[in-house]
Structure 1
Amino acid sequence: MFHFNSLLKYLFLTFFLIISIAANCQQKKVEKKKAPVPKWKIHGRFTFLFNQSAFSNWAAGGQNTVAGNVSINYDFNYKKNKWNWDSRLITGYGLSYLSGKGYRKTNDRFDFNSLLGLKSSKYWFFSYFTNIKTQYTRGFDYSKTPEVSVSDFLSPAYLSFGPGMLWKKSDNLNINIAPATARLTFVNDMFSGKFGVDEGKNSALSLGFNLASYYKTNVMTNVELENILTVYSDYLDKPQNIDLEYQANLRFKVNKSIKMHITLHTIFDDNASGRFQYRELFGLGVNYSFHEKVTY
């Protein structure tokens, strides 16, 4: 069982220490002239990462592998008077081919988040957020023989929404606190009885506390670090078991089109597995901005 006063507390302290230092550094910068605030900022990015290894008569041994990962990130930021509307789509799919074992999934994600805010003070907003999260294809546990199906398209699928308060320093630094968040979990008949859904049913409703934060900064020239953290506690079912999702993306820019990308992704969801889930992705690939627009 995962408790809030252990790893989560340490993660929070580290995360908010970084934010505090970054915010303090930004405040010390002297602004020569206040730039006009754009009404719309849109940025769509396509990334393709490729990895390959091949062996022939290699004394140390080895297994031929080919892996590819495609991801699309789409950001929409809108500002007008006291209104602020931020939407972000994070989606990706990856496969690897292992000689003698066939294809294995390495990434499968659809995550859409929309956050509407009405300014109440300099950095604070009354907010309302909506989040949709699922995957595209069936997932398997290959540690068992034969492999066992553990998830599928829209199984599970999560729909979360609720009012709250948003602290927003910039488009690259914000924290949303939603103490009355409703979450709907959907599964098909095959997975009824799993992911917190009762046996014989295809959906479950929960009410809880949701915290979501986003922080992106340039660590150094041509090196960008992006942090995405989500925490959820269900008031109605074991509130001490905190659901945690944290993703760190480190991007090294080689030139305009080529970047080296490292992703560290961890999830703790007591209803899904009761253990920490880890995913790490590293590769050199093509990065292309297919839609980039700023309007005033």
Structure 2
Amino acid sequence: MRILMCLLLFLTSMVKLQAQDAGDDDVNQNGWKNTGKLQFLFNQSAFNADWTGGGTSSIAGSFAADLDFNYTEDRIAWENSISAEYGLTIQENEKFTRKTNDRIELNSVIGYEVNENDDTAYYSFFINAMTQATKGYVYATNEDGEITRTERTNMFSPGYFQAGPGFLYKKNKVLTLNVAPSTARLIMVDDMFTSAEDYEDGSYFGVAAGESRRYELGASINAVYKLKIMDNITMDNKLLIYSNYLDKPGNVDINYATNINMKVNDYISAKLIFQAIYDDNAVGAFQIREVSGLGLNYTL
């Protein structure tokens, strides 16, 4: 809970700082405004046989796409985003190519202004969907010292779907905060995993033995905060929080991600990614992911 409060405090405490540079960003024009960014990151390391410090040669690459489709019309604001990330790494003398990242996420929120000519507060309805593109594996070493892998996840296994009415707050296109106290949630999985003989009931993303889905009802908070650190350095923060009223509401699911983009020119940039996930149904501990690299980017 302390981590949750710190994240919320971070997102709200920086609004005034960033709002000073927002300028004309408050001016809304009716119609569609579509933007997007494509980025490819590359990492490589190599060691020859005489390198005494030790090390393993490897090649890694990742692709990311962020697309935004936003519509405004009088008192209506409709914001849609699609994010996709996929990465692979190959290590010397390694039997398997491993994923470093695999995520597909869709967000859509439509809002209606609470008060006319006030474009900060809206009644809202949101939809969120998350899954991955390919199989995920758990790796181990057998008695012969060989690396083995066991399939753990796949596309729509799990797949998360959330929807519900709520209240949307926007500040200078820097902070977007959506609070939905009545959120329906569906978790989909492949029943191949939950029907296994050694399956422990509820251990696969909370889904019961032999079942392929789990229904929940709870409260959710979705927040996006964008910070301009310097002229060529930006920081995007995204926080998703969910509490299930029906089962252990105190075990709050947290998904926090920050992307720091350092622009070299219109086509080359460096990127740092940090993500922390707490999902009691999946692991019951924080999952941490860090990615950095120099890449090519293209802005739509």
Q: What is the TM-score normalised by the length of structure 2?
A: 0.89
Alpha-carbon contact 2:28-2:72 (below 8 Å) kept: no
Q: Structure 1: how far apart are the matches of 2:28 and 2:16?
A: 26
Q: CA deviation at 1:38?
A: 5.0
Q: CA deviation at 1:41?
A: 1.2
Q: Classify 1:124/1:35 alpha carbon distance in 2 versus 1 (closer, same or farther; 3 Å).
A: closer
Q: Does 1:63 align with 2:56?
A: yes
Alpha-carbon contact 1:50-1:69 (below 8 Å) kept: yes
Alpha-carbon contact 1:155-1:191 (below 8 Å) kept: no
Higher-RCO chain (CA-CA 8 Å, sequence separation at least 6): 1
Q: CA deviation at 1:150?
A: 2.1
Partner of 1:196, secondary structure, is coil
Structure 1 residue identity aligned to 2:67 = Y
2:37 to 36, 42, 45: 45
Q: Classify 1:174/1:34 alpha carbon distance in 2 versus 1 (closer, same or farther; 3 Å).
A: closer
Q: Does 1:131 align with 2:145?
A: no
2:75 to 71, 82, 101: 82
Q: Structure 2: how far apart are the matches of 1:226 and 1:34?
A: 19
Range moving further from structure 2, 193-202 or 268-277:
193-202
Partner of 2:246, secondary structure, is coil
Range moving further from structure 2, 77-86 or 36-45:
36-45
Partner of 2:12, secondary structure, is helix
| Corresponding residue number in structure 2 for 1:224 | 234
Partner of 1:147, secondary structure, is strand
CA deviation map 1:262-294 (0-9, x unaligned): 0101100000100100111100100012x3xxx
Counterparts of 1:198-237 in structure 2, within 5 Å, are: 198-237=208-247
Q: Structure 2: how far apart are the matches of 1:267 and 1:96?
A: 22
Q: Classify 1:182/1:61 alpha carbon distance in 2 versus 1 (closer, same or farther; 3 Å).
A: same
Q: Structure 1: how far apart are the matches of 2:269 and 2:5?
A: 33
Partner of 2:13, secondary structure, is helix
Structure 1 residue identity aligned to 2:221 = L
Q: Structure 1: how far apart are the matches of 2:103 and 2:225?
A: 20
| Corresponding residue number in structure 2 for 1:105 | 99
Q: Structure 2: how far apart are the matches of 1:185 and 1:89?
A: 19
Structure 1 residue identity aligned to 2:298 = Y
Structure 2 residue identity aligned to 1:213 = A
Paired residue total: 282
1:252 to 243, 250, 262: 262
Q: What is the TM-score normalised by the length of structure 1?
A: 0.90
Counterparts of 1:131-150 in structure 2, within 5 Å, are: 131-143=128-140, 145=142, 146-150=148-152
Alpha-carbon contact 2:139-2:150 (below 8 Å) kept: yes
Q: Structure 1: how far apart are the matches of 2:170 and 2:28?
A: 18
Partner of 2:97, secondary structure, is strand
Q: CA deviation at 1:148?
A: 2.9
Structure 2 residue identity aligned to 1:64 = S
Q: Structure 2: how far apart are the matches of 1:231 and 1:72?
A: 23
Q: Does 1:13 align with 2:6?
A: no
| Corresponding residue number in structure 2 for 1:116 | 110
Unaligned runs of 5+ in 1: 292-296
Structure 2 residue identity aligned to 1:41 = K
- Where has structure 1 moved over 4 Å in runs of 4 or more? 33-36
CA deviation map 1:240-272 (0-9, x unaligned): 000000000000010001110101011000001
Q: Structure 2: how far apart are the matches of 1:181 and 1:22?
A: 30
Q: Structure 1: how far apart are the matches of 2:26 and 2:287?
A: 44
| Identity rate, percent | 39
Q: Structure 1: how far apart are the matches of 2:28 and 2:35?
A: 19
